[in-house]
Structure 1
Amino acid sequence: MGDVVSSHLDEDRREMITARTREWMKEFSQVYEQQYAVALFNSVRFEIEGGGGTQSQLLHRKDPLAGCTIFSGSLFQYLEENRKWRNRFVFVPKDYTINLYESKAAHERGLHPKLTINCAGYKALTSMEEYMELINKSLPVGSNPFIKCATGFPLILWHPYARHHYFCVMTEKEQKKWHAVLQDCVRDSNNGLPENCTVKTPAFTDAVRLHRQARGQYGTWDMMCGTPPQILANLVMETLHPDIRNMIVPRLKGKMQQRQKNWMLISDAVYKQVLTQTTGQYEALVEACEAQRGPLDARLRTDMDQIITSKEHVSSKIRALVLPKAEQILRTNIQPYINSILEALMDPTSRGFAEVRDVFFREMVEISKNSLNGGGKEKMGENMERLSMLAFHPVKMQSCYEKVEELNLEGLQQRFDVSSPSVFISRAQILMREQMDNAVYTFEQLLNQSLEAQGDSDMCKLTQRCQDRVLKKYDYDSSTVRKKFFREALLQIIIPYMLQQLAPSCSPELPRFKELIFEDFSRFLLIENMFEEVVLQSVSKDIMMAVKEAAVQRRHNLYRDSIILTNSDPNLHLLGENPQVDWATKFGGDEPEGSVSSADEGRGFGRRRKQVVSMIQLDGVPLPYESCLEVPGVELIPEEDAESKEEENEEDQLGKAEDLSPKSPDSVNEIRDLINPVVEVAVPVSKEQSEVTNKTEATTEPSPPVF
């Protein structure tokens, strides 16, 4: 396979790719340096003038996944080099990368993983039909898949440029569980821009947006995924990939399926080369800008009043030019559609946040039941440990995420150049996870405070009281977060459209306004940014009014803006400074099994960390195929022209292995089963027993706790 890559990506082509990437990064660097100074100005101004939104009612956990991992389990992976399926042990740490090991023992010994997958930009698929539909966009191969899946339940990670990864499990139930885990890995990896970086993050996002607009690309972009170097690599590949394909694909030989395989290998090699360059050059760019931050910051603090005065003067001149044209576009092309867009956003998003509330409430019910039924402190500790990781449990949160996935902007996408609703779906899901964790963390702190003050003599009453307080605060914060999300989503849809409509008439006029800016302030005041601010101001009033009117409708469960709960619980935020409660130690008296010391934190082996999603598996029962044997009976996965007899043999042999299949994490839809799961485990029987009963006996025991 490597020969295919090297033969088509010779030295000359690699040099061409390097030159194109370097040229592209040079153009981007100029825009980023400009936007860095503007972002620094905005950050310092905000710091001096103050401001901010409504104070949240719920507490925020500083490091929710400290000492935790997400998941570990076993599934089958397709190895392209020998076209075989092998069992792999999967370990997902708190950074949501997917690490594949030969066996669980290899992971526990601290060996390096066979493969590490960063899921940024990927899509998690569960059918070959869906996969073929996507790959046919790059090089059509028809409807017949070129990979024979070992079972009927595939799991595929697809990327438009990078290598694809193929997995499978034995049952539909396992497939749903694994799909939830993979989707969470993709979701978290895509969310790679830290919001607490008040200079670098806005500088980068504005630079990307302006760089795309300079090429006539104004709408939303699906590949704003991952860390800045990954996003930059996606930008380069957006123009480079079609050129490379047109250059290489006609020269590929063999059957169509083989040509598609070869092209995917070449595409992955190109993407890796581009990503290596964007990583190094972006790091050098940020380092150079950060070196200038000190002098720029000092100048801003000295001349802030004069800079603000100059900006307001120039903005008023731009406003006089832009507003009449913007208002005309707003009246005729936008206002008639604002309510339709808002309605399309609000219904699924509100259902998703309502489901978050319901899932949290159901967990509270289980904890209360434990108290009423005399479950004891140890059981209470286990329930609270599980609750603490509820927001990061992809299986339990799946029902919430699915509500938002119903978001559909069909009919509006083409008008406003929205490539797909995935940008808004991912953002809403991240916000839902944050709100769930805030609710859980607030409940933990309130309950712990009540227990220290009143003891645990009436646990059920204390739990109920804390639950009611948290739900009220969740309702208020949920409303605030959703309204902010709706406003930002409307701006993301409308502003690019307005800029595109205004560009032909306004862009030629903008350069003359540069003469009004003092040279000393020119680094902090850019005409392009002020033009966009004027356009934003022109539409903000209509958007605010639309969201405000929607808040009055009871079906959306939004608080009106006139309802303010500021300082309604002044002592609560003092609890946010307290350390996270160790419930296993508090109720159990011993160090919890999943705890991890600071010395063990950096190691991937040794004492077992607390795991958010645990395997439903009884201790002492070994995982099947733990030595990483091949899937029983699958010697070689045949191609499309293989004989049907070989396929039948494979199916027979896989059927025999089905009962030994490795099991995955928890259920998707049955949350009650997740809390108290029941697992049937096949126990070996003697020959005499099998002759008498001819059946497999089963033992039923509770699984290890699901954290």
Structure 2
Amino acid sequence: MGGRPSSPLDKRQQKQLRGQVDTLLRNFLPCYRGQLAASVLWQISQELGPQEPAGCQLLHSKKLPRVREHRGPLTLLQGHPPQWQPIFCVLRGDGRLEWFSHREEYENGDHPLESTPLTGYTVLTSQSEYLRLLDALCPDSSGDHTQEEPDLLLETPVQFPLFLQHPFRRHLCLSAATGKMQQAWSLALQGGIRLRGTVLRRSQAPAARAFLDAIRLYRQQRGHFGDDDATLGSDAEVLTAVLMRQLLPELRSQTLPGLRESGRARAWSWTKLLDAVHASVLAGASAGLRAFQPEKDELLVALERTIRPDVEQMLQLQARVAGRLQAEVQGPLESCLRRKVDMQLPRVTQTLLSTLEAELTVVQTLLTQGMDRLSRHLRRSSSGARLRKEVYSFGEMPWDPELMQTCYHEAEQSRGRLGQLTAPFGFFGTQSLVFGAQDLAQQLMADAVATFLQLADQYLTTALDCDQAAQQLEKVGGRVLKKFRSDSGSARRKFIHGWLLCIFLPFVLSQLEPSCKAELPEFEGEVLAMGSPALTIEGIYEDVVRGVLLQRINQEKSSVHWSLAASPHHKPSSCFRRRFREGFPQWFSQFSFQRGTCTLHGFLLFCHRIFIFPQ
């Protein structure tokens, strides 16, 4: 399932898909325009409103999110008929997987045989688990899996497999040479999948916020109120996932009966068809969003120009209508919360809190061990090369997949429990939630590492010997841990608030839909008279419901004791090996590490510039 042959879609089917993408864009873009306006209003109101004291004590790392590049030989099941063939794979820093026939092609800068973004994939390392998934994909009444070529190949034991499964794309069947290579590739691929999946949720741009809100509203208008993992990926990938979910029932009913194969070969043919449909939809969605980009840029400028002068009047109107609307819906809303939310809210809150506490406890432990290790080596070692290695390893900690997996595992373990608790509310986005918790751990680790390096640069001087410098590092470590505990409490509060709203708000809106929505037209005239797309009666109504739900959420804080401090959003950073290796010799040659005289100051200054302030 590696090579990509000619598309199984004929011209009529491709034309039909283009029409469906055009319909999607025609219906979605008005939602997007409206949410762009609402997002600009929200951003301006935040600027003009009372400013909360800064809750962030750690230095904000300035690196762009990426994963550590990983490369090496693998075998791939590909071709017609499929065979295991050796390839050279490269996981790029942006989460794309490329493969070449030979290492030399990669080293010569040749184009890869193929390249695929890892958005939406899942990594499986169990052959039996993958075969069960494949059998469930296209159940075959005959139950005969013995005569098909793919079945025979997959039945042959693969010692160190790496199966990449996607709900709408072809599967990639890979194999490593050793268990150690399998583990390293599995962790690297999971990092790439997470990076690709959380690109919109990490963004603080008004357009990203507006896009996610528009997707939610677009789906709610079509009766889909629950949150799920459709919002993983870029804007075009999210739109593609939304349409693929709409098309899937029809594709199954019309296509599966016509597949001639049986057993797992039938499942392979099905994934081949899905991959072709997905590629066609993605191309159309990407083209449509590119065409909309100039209009979006002009619209954001125009909205800023028209909303800012009238923002106070708009906010006063919003508050006045919200007060009247809340009085109207308070009864049904309170009844809904008492009957259907209040019993489960503490359990979901506690599960989220315990998940984050377990994960961030591991982060703090790893951070403490890393700082202690630097102090020990400074006391005991006169080797500049050894210190260079230790400082570099410390700076790499947030981007070390094996090290950080001990943190990420804590979030992964809670997936099943969270799924059980939230499914009754129509929430099926546990993968997005787990990714968010893992991103948070990486962000806090990156910020703590950057803060330690900067403070070490400030406090270490050439007048200190190694023992004195080690003592200073220990004091710096204590300060960093104090800052980390403060910021982790703030980030925990923000994370739990955000995800509790994602879980419960769509459910509450769906429960109120029949009764409360009917009351909205009588409030609409005053809002329409304002004449701004940033204010809609539906938006004010949702703000009212959100506000009451937030009051319920805040009532939980006293019982579970989570921090109340505000926390800005951190973006994860990365470390660039090449810049370190190229820049190091010209700096390091200036310094010596002797027992009596500590010149670690200059060395850490270099590390500070490499890790904290990239050019």
Q: TM-score range by the shorter chain?
A: 0.7 to 0.9
Classify the secondary structure of the residue corresponding to 1:120. Answer: coil
Partner residue in 2 for 1:368:
375
TM-score between both structures, scaled by the size of structure 1: 0.76
Partner residue in 1 for 2:443:
434
CA contact (8 A) 2:70 2:185 kept: no
Partner residue in 2 for 1:538:
548
- Whichever residue aligns with residue 311 of structure 2, its letter is M
CA contact (8 A) 2:379 2:470 kept: yes
Change (3 A) 1:542 1:46: same
The alpha carbon displacement at 1:587 in A equals 6.9
- Alignment partner of 1:465 is 2:472: no
Partner residue in 1 for 2:494:
484
CA contact (8 A) 2:74 2:89 kept: yes
CA contact (8 A) 2:3 2:79 kept: no
Change (3 A) 1:453 1:472: farther
Alignment of 1:81-160 (within 5 A): 81-141=80-140, 146=151, 147-148=153-154, 151-160=158-167
Alignment of 1:282-431 (within 5 A): 282-407=289-414, 408-419=417-428, 421-431=430-440
Change (3 A) 1:518 1:87: same
CA contact (8 A) 2:61 2:447 kept: yes
Partner residue in 2 for 1:275:
282
Change (3 A) 1:36 1:92: same
Partner residue in 2 for 1:72:
71
Classify the secondary structure of the residue corresponding to 1:397. Answer: helix
In 2: Cα distance, 1:3 partner to 1:70 partner = 23
Change (3 A) 1:544 1:7: closer
CA contact (8 A) 2:8 2:276 kept: no
CA contact (8 A) 2:119 2:197 kept: yes
- Whichever residue aligns with residue 454 of structure 2, its letter is Q
CA contact (8 A) 2:73 2:88 kept: yes
In 1: Cα distance, 2:92 partner to 2:291 partner = 29
The alpha carbon displacement at 1:54 in A equals 4.1
- Alignment partner of 1:521 is 2:521: no
In 2: Cα distance, 1:158 partner to 1:441 partner = 36
Partner residue in 2 for 1:643:
none
Among 243, 254, 259, the alignment partner of 1:247 is: 254
- Whichever residue aligns with residue 532 of structure 1, its letter is E
CA contact (8 A) 2:528 2:536 kept: no
Please say which structure displays the higher CA radius of gyration.
Answer: 1
The alignment's C-alpha RMSD in Å is 2.9
Q: For residues 493-522 of structure 1, what are the alpha-carbon distances to aligned partners after superposition, in whole Å with 9 as ceiling and x for unaligned?
A: 111111011001011221232211244433
- Alignment partner of 1:33 is 2:33: yes
Classify the secondary structure of the residue corresponding to 2:88. Answer: strand
Among 487, 507, 515, the alignment partner of 1:497 is: 507
Partner residue in 2 for 1:42:
42
The alpha carbon displacement at 1:212 in A equals 1.0
Runs of 4+ aligned residues of structure 1 deviating over 6 Å after TM superposition are: 1-7, 563-566, 580-583
Partner residue in 2 for 1:635:
none
Partner residue in 2 for 1:14:
14
In 2: Cα distance, 1:542 partner to 1:395 partner = 39
Partner residue in 1 for 2:573:
none
In 2: Cα distance, 1:64 partner to 1:455 partner = 35
In 1: Cα distance, 2:317 partner to 2:65 partner = 46
Change (3 A) 1:254 1:82: closer
Once structures 1 and 2 are overlaid, which stretch shifts more, 267-276 or 476-485? 476-485
In 2: Cα distance, 1:4 partner to 1:86 partner = 15
The alpha carbon displacement at 1:464 in A equals 1.5
Change (3 A) 1:564 1:40: closer
Classify the secondary structure of the residue corresponding to 2:376. Answer: helix
Task: Give unpaired runs (5+ residues) of structure 2.
Answer: 569-578, 592-609
In 2: Cα distance, 1:88 partner to 1:232 partner = 32
Partner residue in 1 for 2:235:
228
Q: For residues 279-323 of structure 1, what are the alpha-carbon distances to aligned partners after superposition, in whole Å with 9 as ceiling and x for unaligned?
A: 011122232122122232111121112111221222122112211
In 2: Cα distance, 1:330 partner to 1:69 partner = 45
- Whichever residue aligns with residue 125 of structure 1, its letter is L
In 1: Cα distance, 2:18 partner to 2:387 partner = 59
- Whichever residue aligns with residue 435 of structure 1, its letter is L
Change (3 A) 1:411 1:386: closer
Overall identity of the aligned pairs, in %: 26
- Whichever residue aligns with residue 429 of structure 1, its letter is Q
- Whichever residue aligns with residue 476 of structure 2, its letter is C
- Alignment partner of 1:550 is 2:549: no
Task: Give unpaired runs (5+ residues) of structure 1.
Answer: 552-557, 567-579, 592-610, 613-707
In 2: Cα distance, 1:373 partner to 1:11 partner = 72
Q: For residues 21-62 of structure 1, what are the alpha-carbon distances to aligned partners after superposition, in whole Å with 9 as ceiling and x for unaligned?
A: 211121011111111111111112222335357421111111
CA contact (8 A) 2:120 2:197 kept: yes
Q: For residues 536-584 of structure 1, what are the alpha-carbon distances to aligned partners after superposition, in whole Å with 9 as ceiling and x for unaligned?
A: 1112122112123312xxxxxx5x54x8999xxxxxxxxxxxxx99994
Classify the secondary structure of the residue corresponding to 1:372. Answer: helix
In 2: Cα distance, 1:182 partner to 1:243 partner = 32
Q: For residues 384-434 of structure 1, what are the alpha-carbon distances to aligned partners after superposition, in whole Å with 9 as ceiling and x for unaligned?
A: 112212111111101110011111225423321122522211110000000
- Whichever residue aligns with residue 251 of structure 1, its letter is G
In 2: Cα distance, 1:348 partner to 1:246 partner = 40
Classify the secondary structure of the residue corresponding to 2:466. Answer: coil
CA contact (8 A) 1:37 1:524 kept: yes
- Whichever residue aligns with residue 315 of structure 2, its letter is I
**Greater helix content:** 2
In 2: Cα distance, 1:7 partner to 1:565 partner = 48
In 2: Cα distance, 1:564 partner to 1:492 partner = 19
CA contact (8 A) 1:413 1:419 kept: yes
In 2: Cα distance, 1:77 partner to 1:440 partner = 38
Change (3 A) 1:229 1:214: same
